[in-house]
Amino acid sequence: MCKDPSCPLISIVTINYNGLNDTSELIESIQAYIHSTSYEIIVVDNASKKDEASLLKEKYPVVNVIASPSNLGFSGGNNLGIKQAKGEFIFLLNNDTYITSDCFHYLIDSFQENPSAGMVCPKICFAAGKQNIQYAGYTTLSNITLRNKAIGLGEKDKGQYNLQYKTAYAHGAALMIRKKTIDQIGLMPEIFFLYYEEIDWSTKLKEEGYEIWYNGNCTVFHKESQSTGQESPLRTFYMMRNRLLYAWRHKRGITKWLSIVYLSTIAASKNSIQFMTKGRADLAAATYKGIIAFINIPHKLK
């Protein structure tokens, strides 16, 4: 860890939910590799089934472990950690990530070199298999369908994205933001609970005049959705509900209504047919439960 008092402090915030082994691997990778920057680690235990908070406190006494009495979701858990953070920079890291190099200082460089930067994300690679790229930035969401692409997705990492550039949205698995920026734009929106919260937060940040940057000189490895599963009813429910919620919160005029109608009819029907052909009636049901849940959000909490 950097001993120079001029080194800015990074508050690394991660959420643990029945993921003791993953969280331990993340902590140990940070402790093993990060030496050029000062940091603190904050772990929010989101009401795991077992008392994993106590186990983490015992195993890592220098880590600030916060035990939440209830599951606050991704946004709420991160916000709980952010409120305890002492750093100039907040680095939100999924607990199912790890690092293999001393690279956080590159993200700090992006802030210092780009005064308008409000968020900076590293390159994210899949931890499994050939460790291909998961994220090297995002393209902009389309107006009606709210579809976009992750730049570099599935490509072999040959260093082709070891660059800095502006990007449309941050990735929630590894997102650095200045504490003073959070003070201005507000905490992560808790209404989403899971999924789309970082897209909503990114949009809010850009509406306030900030930019989002990607710096591929830092790489984080991601085990990808081990806590919820790639095709789980939970993920399907929140993805449907929260796409609609994002459209409600950020689209305007006729575009808002066209997007909501498209997502709740054409997209929902198409997805449900695909789920049914795979024998996944549970996912089809979760799709329509997500639509109903969106409709029932009181006044969409605007």
Tell me: the pLDDT tens digits for 249-283?
999 999 999 999 999 999 999 999 999 999 999 99
* The model scores a pTM over 0.85: yes
**Helical packing angle, 233-250 and 281-295, nearest 10°:** 30
Q: What confidence tens digit (pLDDT) does each residue in 155-179 have?
A: 999 999 999 999 999 999 999 999 9
Q: pLDDT at position 300, please? A: 56
Q: pLDDT at position 249, please? A: 93
* Dist CA 118 CA 40 (whole Å): 21
pLDDT at residue 227 tops 50? no
Q: Are 100 and 127 in contact (CB under 8 A)?
A: no
Distant-in-sequence, close-in-space partners of 65: CB < 8 Å, separation ≥ 6: 42, 43, 45, 53, 56, 57
Burial of 263 (0-12, 13-18, 19+ CB in 10 A): buried
User: How confident is residue 302, by pLDDT bands cut at 50, 70 and 90?
Assistant: low
* Dist CA 87 CA 205 (whole Å): 19
Q: Which amino acid is at 113?
A: E
Residue 53 is encoded by which pair of tokens? Answer: 């908070």
Across the chain, what does the average pLDDT equal? Answer: 94
- Identify which of 95, 8, 16 has the alpha carbon closest to the alpha carbon of residue 53: 16
Residue with tokens 């789920």: 275
Q: What confidence tens digit (pLDDT) does each residue in 235-247 have?
A: 999 999 999 999 9
Q: What confidence tens digit (pLDDT) does each residue in 83-132 have?
A: 999 999 999 999 999 999 999 999 999 999 999 999 999 999 999 999 99
